[in-house]
Amino acid sequence: MKMQFDSGVGERSSRIFDSLPEAILFFNLAGELRYVNSAGLALIGQEARNRRFCDIADCGQASFRDLIDDIRSRMVGDQVVLRLRPDKGGRRLYLNVVPVDGGAICTLTDRKAAAPENESMYRAIYYGAMEAIFVVDPRNLRILSMNSTAEDLTGYRCPELEGRAFEEIVAVPDRENARRVMSKATADSIRTKYVDLRRKDGTSVPAEMNARCINFDSRRVIVSLVRDIYRFEHPEDEAAQLDNELSALNYIGAIAGGRLGLHDALDRAIRLVCKVKDIPAGRIYLLDRATGELRPEASFGMDLERSDKKGTIRPGECVEGLAVSTGEPIVVEDLGTWQGPACDRAYAGRARSLVSVPVSSRGMTIGVMDLATPEKRPFTPRDVRFFTSVAGIIGVMADHDIHVREMEAHAAEDEKLALEMQRQADELRRNYELLRRITQSINLDDTLESIVKNVPILLRLDGCVIYRLEEREIRSVRATESITKKFGTLRYDLDRLVATREAVDKRRTIVVNDALNYPGIAMDVVRGLNIRAMIILPLIARGKTLGVMWLLDTATPRKFSDVDIQRSNMLSDQVAIAIDNAMLFRQLSEANRQLEDSYDRLKNLDSMKMEFFTLLSHELRTPLTTIKGYADLLQDGVLGPLNEEQRDKLARISAGVDRLTKIVENLSDLSSIASKKYVVDIIPVSLNDLINEVVKGMAFLAESKGIDITTDVPLNLPIVYVDRARIMQVVLNILNNAIKYTPSGGHVTIRARDEPDHVLVSVHDTGIGIPRRDLENIFSGFYHSGYKLSYEYKGAGLGLALSRGIVESHGGHIWAESEVGKGSTFYFTLPKNAPLKQSH
């Protein structure tokens, strides 16, 4: 036994289905079984005639239509697990669904892997022309073939489209959706999409599209089922009518979330509603928030498309307004006998029945949808519910559009604000760059050039002239290039320039908006420089007027704004400071140059002095040695006997020679240190032994003056690497000075301490002290403090200078602390644990 389809399927499809090994069943949208092949009869039993889906499979509380819609809205063709009812054995089955016009074809199998991707079922649909099917190459998404239903849908014959990209027959805004369907199909997982197909005649057809990748005619292809949304036959069958309505709602919902503009989406929606319900005319109005009027946005039928779309209607004067005010649908079966407000004049003389449904969103009525017929027609509650559902989707669409437009308006305003902020930021940046250049420049000429070049650009003016004030005269020191080339240096008597004199004398900015009509202005100057407007700014820095700056507009008189004046004042302040800084730097540079010249001369003098010391020590050393030798011979009696007076004189001569020899040696050492030729012999030295040795050697001198010398040197003081003779000379020089400048009865203390990086040696005395102003100079050589020094205290002034050179040649440091009348303390440091080079 087999059952035939009630309608819509040819014999060819029936024969193909009957030959398949899989169970094939066709249910209409009411869930009634209309066809089953032989394999299906074997599976569900011979008594399947006139059975419903719920009689065969247990799907809980859901109806067959719910199941189909659920599958259709998710993954078309995905398997659903079902169990046969207990009276059918309770077996587990796998259901595959392919929606077709008027119902759905189902395959049932007890294997999880369904029949080979439903190839046979798709073949039956393809050749039976049940739905429009396109066969597409998955590698490049180009059309391989299509059936006769697809040819009827597109207006093309199959050879015309073979080899062309599938997206070419899809409207541009929907091509992305088409590509998504195809790319998902290659992964064997797809969703239903709504697209607009482009027909050969240029018209568009809204369609429902899905696709799956299968084996077809021995090759791997994508098969895409496409269904014309507008193909409604208005059957009496309630389930079929419901399917039409749901399909329309699905499509309208899809375009609501798509890329179409609001007008195009509303136009398709009203056309689809009219076709589904077989209504000849319809119109959608949206409420204008600014005027409160209803404005037509989309129309269909009765020549409404050609009527005045710009015409609006007032809600208080029409049926549509009643729908707005009440928020409820208004149904008028006969406008001829209607006692309420009139309808839109666009329907006048053409409409007999009318339903006006409010379009709402988020609890607010934002428009109305009209459906009209030329003959009297009753609208059922089901019709009104359908219209209300559509109006709800339209409301969401319109509200979204309003929101988007508001967002776009805000975005445009934000963009305008951003551009303004960018403009201000650019001006600030130019301001900053200019100020940076003129304030950081230390060259006066560069500063002036930067000012006259950039200030006019910043203030959108034509020229700038900077004048220097010379008593009661001004002379240009820099001007815009065009002015300099034409006029050279400008010089004016300040008293004949009314505006400039006022700016200088009163130290305030003068604004001249119209130079040719400014009272008392020097017309020859204005005409000569072609001045039409100007700002005159005194240049004041550190309370002194340095000059004046003219900012010129040579094109036309202009009203300078407060911002212009404010910016000019700010720039003039910076210009004045920059000019003053540059002038100060020029003066400083000149003073520094003079100082460098003086320093070079002093260096030359110091070099000459050291050369003189070297020459002097060399020239004196030989005669002093000769004098010393003969004096010693005379003292020893080699040249004859001497009396006591002679011996005393010779002793004085010998002492003087020794003193002079010591001075010559010190001069030689100072010269060597200054010329970096000073030689030191580094050995490990015990400072404890060295200090004690020096103290013993100086004991006789201290005792002769009644001065007490004490030492405070730890026995564990670390070894230092120094030139022993040189460091002994340093200690001897400092100790000698301490004894020399300490009165009788005084005290001298020598200390040494181990510090982290060095050894610190100090010599403290209770002598006359040194003025603070002399403390740095005493180490420079040939320096004598002017403080209460008698001739007996004064020496050559070389000992401390030489000591400084010796200590520093060892990497140490020497200094003194003193208070007049309370004595002095001399310090020096020597690095430890680090032998130095043998020469310095």
* 749 SS3 class: strand
Exposed e or buried b for every residue in 242-279, given b needs 16+ CB within 10 A?
ebbbbbbbbbbbbbbebebebebbbbbbbbbbbbbbeb
What is the average pLDDT across 204-230?
79
Q: What torsion, rounded to 10 degrees, do the Cα atoms 264, 269, 270, 272 define?
A: 120
pLDDT over 70 at 254, yes or no:
yes
The pTM for the full model equals: 0.45
Average pLDDT over residues 484-500: 90
**What average pLDDT score do residues 259-272 get?**
85
d(Cα 569, Cα 771) in Å, to the nearest integer? 54
CA-based nearest residue to 431, from 571, 561, 302, 322: 571
Stronger pLDDT, 454 or 705, i.e. the higher one: 705
**In the 8-state DSSP scheme, what is residue 640?**
S
Instruction: Please check whether residue 824 is in contact with residue 750, taking contact to mean a CB–CB distance below 8 angstroms.
Output: no
Residue 551 pLDDT class (50, 70, 90 cuts): very high
Which of 48-62, 401-415, 481-495, 551-565 has the weakest average pLDDT?
Answer: 48-62
What is the average pLDDT across 433-454? 77
Shortest CA distance to 469 belongs to which of 536, 520, 529, 516?
536
CB atoms inside a 10 Å sphere around CB 408:
11
Question: How many whole angstroms separate alpha carbon 718 and alpha carbon 688?
Answer: 9
Tens digit of each residue's pLDDT (9 = 90 or more) over 576-606: 888 888 788 888 888 888 888 877 777 666 6
Chain center to CA of 184: 38
pLDDT at position 610 is 61
Give CA–CA dist 192/208, Å, rounded: 7
Give me the mean pLDDT over the 36-44 stretch: 76
Contact of 283 with 300, CB cutoff 8 Å: yes
Query: Between these two residues, 739 and 336, which has the higher pLDDT value?
Result: 739
Q: Which CATH architecture has domain 11-228?
A: 2-Layer Sandwich (3.30)
Question: Higher model confidence: residue 552 or residue 662?
Answer: 552
Least confident of 123-132, 266-275, 326-335, 393-402: 123-132
Q: How far apart are the first and last CA of the chain?
A: 125
pLDDT band with cut points at 50, 70 and 90 for residue 182? confident
Residue 306: per-residue pLDDT = 46
For residue 184, give the amino acid letter.
K
pLDDT (mean) for 389-405: 89
Residue 446: what pLDDT? 81
Residue 74: pLDDT over 70: no
Q: Where are any strands of DSSP class E within 643-746?
A: 683-685, 708-712, 720-722
pLDDT of residue 1: 36
Number of C-beta neighbours around residue 457 at 10 A: 11
Is the confidence at residue 72, as pLDDT, over 70?
A: no
- Assign a CATH topology to domain 238-401: Beta-Lactamase (3.30.450)
| Tokens (6 digits) for 599 | 């320093």
pLDDT band of 356, cuts 50, 70, 90: very high
Closest Cα partner for 748 from 676, 806, 685, 699? 699
Which residue shows structure tokens 């649908």? 329
pLDDT for position 54: 72
Of 56-70, 456-470, 481-495, where does mean pLDDT reach its minimum?
56-70
Please, which residues have CB within 8 angstroms of residue 342's CB and are 6 or more apart in sequence?
A: 317, 318, 319
pLDDT bracket for residue 232 (50, 70, 90): low
| pLDDT on residue 618 | 55
CATH 3.30.450.20 domain span(s) along the chain: 11-228
Confidence grade of residue 790 (pLDDT, cut at 50, 70, 90): very low
Say whether pLDDT at 235 is over 60: no
The answer, yes or no, to whether residue 720 has pLDDT greater than 50, is yes
| Residue 59 or 653, more confident | 653
DSSP state at residue 168: G
pLDDT at residue 221 tops 50: yes
CA angle 233, 237, 239 (to 5 degrees): 100
Q: Is the Cβ–Cβ distance between 162 and 153 less than 8 Å?
A: no
pLDDT of residue 2: 42
Class level of CATH domain 439-585: alpha beta
Class of domain 683-831: alpha beta
Q: Are the C-beta atoms of 384 and 355 separated by less than 8 Å?
A: yes
Write down the pLDDT at residue 694: 93
- Residue 835 above 80 pLDDT? no
For residues 176-191, give the mean pLDDT.
Answer: 70
| Average confidence (pLDDT) over 414-421 | 88
Lowest mean pLDDT among 229-243, 346-360, 449-463, 656-670: 229-243
Residue 479: the pLDDT is 92
Tens of pLDDT, residues 93-122: 776 777 666 667 777 776 654 444 456 667
428 versus 673: which is more confidently predicted? Answer: 428
97: tokens are 């669904």
Please report which confidence band the pLDDT of residue 759 belongs to, taking 50, 70 and 90 as the band edges.
very high
Domain with CATH 3.30.450.40 in the chain: 238-401, 439-585
Instruction: Check pLDDT > 90 for residue 343.
Output: no
Average model confidence (pLDDT) across the chain:
80
**pLDDT per residue over 323-341, tens digit each?**
888 899 999 988 888 877 7
Per-residue confidence (pLDDT) for residue 261, from 0 to 100: 82
